[in-house]
Structure 1
């Protein structure tokens, strides 16, 4: 099963996220975010970072999770490639993420993502698997 696919959306970029489980949608969504930002094959795991996110429902939780990861990239230069979820329900998530700091001599910036938007956000179970959808503001 592929982790995600992209689709064009007026001046933005959408992703469809695939997973065998609800949890895998969050892991693969985070992977997609960083895969679009840089070449993940060049990212090492030199540190781990723990985070907790809360929201009103699962769609908002997905948006807040991805926006928190994007914030850590934009504010601290953290690139993540490993995502381990310790707790996940409909309104909260606790995870450990692993990666390294952005190094311009080794990491290229592929896509400039400003934010993860609430426009058309969705998470649903479909034919025994899970699928999510988010739009990135470019």
Structure 2
């Protein structure tokens, strides 16, 4: 099968008295062009859409925690519920580290077990330019 797929993400963080509220969406698996299966028939997949939000809480000038939720849907049906928590530390030199732990709770009739996912992130923000680099390790 020839696959041409696109991932599109969009979001915005609103600063507030607690830290920041981030609202975002992700469209994964958007079909591009004609998709044909190996036997010549037209292939069709439905994009997975994630709607999410996170509220960060500044504990100190450097330490923060966050709580959030993501809702995964496809073809108008709920697929997974994804509550999450984060903790992070921003160093004065531009380096930052964080961890996100998220539960993947099945929302379908399959009654699948709940999976847990951890992401560890290390990032660096340059002080002399508007550029940040990051590495995300998914466990």
Q: TM-score range by the shorter chain?
A: under 0.3
| Structure having the larger proportion of residues in helix | 1
Instruction: Compute the TM-score of the two structures, normalised by the length of structure 2.
Output: 0.28
Instruction: Compute the TM-score of the two structures, normalised by the length of structure 1.
Output: 0.28
Rg (Cα) greater in structure: 2
